[in-house]
């Protein structure tokens, strides 16, 4: 990137890149604060926004009430079962006593005991009756528990069906919200991106380039961090398609630029030597020579050889002789390194101290 060869200029350029980065950082911070302070465009949606609230509330109340009543019935059922067990064991012990008494009576055959027999049989019948009552009490409580549980299950099922339908609507709404959020962000980011593209095309070499590049970094950050993650996915289709389009555009631009560069280079190689020399900046030429390539065509040349005066690939003059002292010197040097005379390159060039006027030599 940096073509500067002067030491201080190099450091100034590095400092200016730092300015560009800091400028971008502050722009990003300002943009983030602005977006954060904007009124929230979308409220958070909940499943309750998509179902009949009164019906849902009633069902939820029912479920709670039935839960409570099932619990109460369950407790009553435990009580009834206990009562039944007590009645069972009362009956069992009473009937054992009765049987024993009956066996004794058979042995003694006392007929005056008949009224007692009737009384004892009645008492036993009474116990059996209360056992049956306790059993039907248990059955009634079992029925109550079952009713409560089934009613609760029905309400639950109804609520679940409603919630499933609402869930589908909520998911559809979320997709719409996602798209809206993306469009808001696009509306904010696209003008930045367009401005950055224009600045890159027209102003990237201007005097105020650090600010231009700072703005470009800011726009790229806004695009890749504030916009791309909000791109609706639609199962990955959109992201991949956008990726393919962006890659195709970038690739096409790279191919076009390469062809343009090659055409420019070819056209430049057709020009007369002096004109080509004039079009090359001094620093660019020196940087290319330092890398061991021809400053005209950027192909590798053997600069150490003392026989090589012209590039064998494009014919540009690489070495010539000082017009004053005839020392062999780089054709791109501005002054002769042996006598300090200002150099004009090419045969037929006017020479003299400090004079660098160029005249076209033979092509
Ligand atoms: Zn060359
Ligand atoms: Zn000289």
Query: For the residues of 331-350, what is the DSSP string, one character each?
Result: TT-SB-TTT-PBP--STT--
% of the chain surpassing 90 pLDDT: 50
Give the single-character DSSP code of 325: T
Ligand nearest to the CA of 265: 1
Alpha carbon distances (Å) from 144 to 54, 138, 267 = 27, 10, 100
**What is the per-residue pLDDT for 348?**
39
- Distance, in Å, from the CA atom of 286 to the CA atom of 206, rounded to the nearest integer, reads 23
φ, ψ dihedrals at 23, nearest 5°: -60, -45
Average pLDDT over residues 258-279: 88
**What is the per-residue pLDDT for 354?**
38
Residues with CB under 5 A from ligand 1 (ion): 294, 296-297, 311, 313-314
Structure tokens at 31: 């943009």
**What is the per-residue pLDDT for 147?**
93
- Distance, in Å, from the CA atom of 155 to the CA atom of 62, rounded to the nearest integer, reads 7
Contact 284, 295 (CB under 8 A): yes
- Look at residue 75 and tell me whether its pLDDT is greater than 60: yes
**What is the per-residue pLDDT for 96?**
92
CA 362 to ligand 1 center in whole angstroms: 17
Alpha carbon distances (Å) from 36 to 10, 42, 174, 183 = 39, 13, 21, 17
Long-range CB contacts (< 8 A, 24+ apart) of 32-40? 35/188, 35/226
CA 324 to ligand 2 center in whole angstroms: 5
H/E stretch holding 104: helix 53-108
- Look at residue 358 and tell me whether its pLDDT is greater than 60: no
CA 9 to ligand 1 center in whole angstroms: 28
Residue whose tokens read 């006392």: 110
- Distance, in Å, from the CA atom of 358 to the CA atom of 277, rounded to the nearest integer, reads 9
Q: How confident is the model over 21-73, as pLDDT tens digits? A: 999 999 999 988 887 776 666 677 788 888 888 888 999 999 999 999 999 99
- Look at residue 104 and tell me whether its pLDDT is greater than 90: no
Alpha carbon distances (Å) from 156 to 65, 151, 160, 352 = 12, 9, 6, 104
Structure tokens at 210: 């650090």
CA 300 to ligand 1 center in whole angstroms: 8
**What is the per-residue pLDDT for 210?**
93
Lowest mean pLDDT among 110-114, 120-124, 146-150, 343-347: 343-347
- Distance, in Å, from the CA atom of 323 to the CA atom of 62, rounded to the nearest integer, reads 109
CA 305 to ligand 1 center in whole angstroms: 15
Structure tokens at 343: 């150099």
Q: How confident is the model over 79-90, as pLDDT tens digits? A: 999 999 999 999
- Look at residue 344 and tell me whether its pLDDT is greater than 80: no
H/E stretch holding 214: helix 209-221
pTM score, two decimals? 0.58
Ligand nearest to the CA of 296: 1
Q: 242: Cβ–Cβ under 8 A, 6 or more apart, which residues?
A: 231
CA 281 to ligand 1 center in whole angstroms: 15
**What is the per-residue pLDDT for 50?**
83
- Distance, in Å, from the CA atom of 184 to the CA atom of 178, rounded to the nearest integer, reads 10
- Look at residue 183 and tell me whether its pLDDT is greater than 90: no
- Distance, in Å, from the CA atom of 213 to the CA atom of 206, rounded to the nearest integer, reads 10
**What is the per-residue pLDDT for 3?**
60
Q: Within the chain, how many helices (H) and strands (E) appear?
A: 7, 2
Q: How confident is the model over 218-251, as pLDDT tens digits? A: 999 988 888 877 877 777 787 788 889 999 999 9
Between 3 and 155, name the one with better pLDDT: 155
Q: Residue 350, Cβ neighbours under 10 Å: how many?
A: 11
pLDDT confidence tier of residue 141, bands split at 50, 70 and 90: very high
CA 336 to ligand 2 center in whole angstroms: 5
% of the chain surpassing 70 pLDDT: 91
Question: Which of 1, 65, 19 lies closest to 210, judged by CA?
Answer: 19
CA 307 to ligand 1 center in whole angstroms: 15
């Amino acid at each position: 990137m940096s073509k500067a060869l002067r030491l201080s200029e190099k450091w100034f350029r590095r400092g200016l890149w730092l300015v560009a980065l800091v400028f971008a950082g502050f722009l990003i911070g300002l943009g983030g604060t602005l977006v954060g302070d904007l009124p929230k465009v979308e409220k958070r949606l909940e499943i309750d926004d998509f179902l009949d609230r009164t019906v849902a509330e009633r069902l939820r109340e029912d479920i709670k009430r039935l839960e409570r009543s099932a619990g109460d019935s369950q407790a009553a059922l435990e009580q009834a079962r206990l009562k039944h067990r007590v009645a069972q064991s009362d009956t069992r012990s009473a009937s054992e006593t009765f049987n024993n008494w009956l066996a004794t009576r058979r042995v003694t055959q006392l007929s005056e005991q008949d009224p007692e027999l009737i009384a004892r049989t009645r008492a036993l019948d009474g116990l059996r009756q209360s056992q049956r009552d306790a059993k039907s009490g248990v059955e009634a409580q079992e029925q109550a528990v079952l009713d409560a549980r089934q009613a609760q299950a029905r309400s639950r099922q109804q609520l679940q069906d409603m919630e499933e339908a609402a869930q589908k609507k909520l998911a559809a709404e979320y997709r719409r919200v996602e798209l809206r959020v993306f469009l808001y962000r696009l509306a904010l980011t696209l003008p930045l991106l367009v401005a950055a593209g224009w600045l890159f095309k027209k102003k990237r070499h201007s005097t105020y380039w650090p600010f231009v590049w700072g703005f470009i970094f800011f726009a790229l950050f806004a695009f890749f961090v504030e916009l791309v993650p909000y791109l609706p996915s639609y199962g990955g289709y959109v992201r991949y398609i956008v990726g393919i389009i962006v890659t195709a555009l970038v690739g096409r631009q790279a191919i076009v630029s390469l062809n343009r560069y090659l055409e420019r280079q070819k056209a430049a190689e057709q020009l007369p030597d002096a004109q080509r020399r004039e079009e090359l900046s001094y620093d660019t030429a020196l940087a290319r020579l330092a890398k061991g390539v021809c400053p005209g065509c950027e192909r590798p040349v053997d600069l150490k050889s003392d026989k090589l005066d012209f590039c064998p690939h494009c014919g540009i003059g690489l070495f010539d002789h000082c017009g004053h002292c005839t020392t062999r010197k780089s054709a791109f040097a501005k002054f002769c390194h042996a006598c300090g005379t200002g150099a004009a390159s090419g045969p037929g060039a006017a020479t003299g101290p400090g004079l660098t006027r160029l005249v076209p030599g033979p092509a």
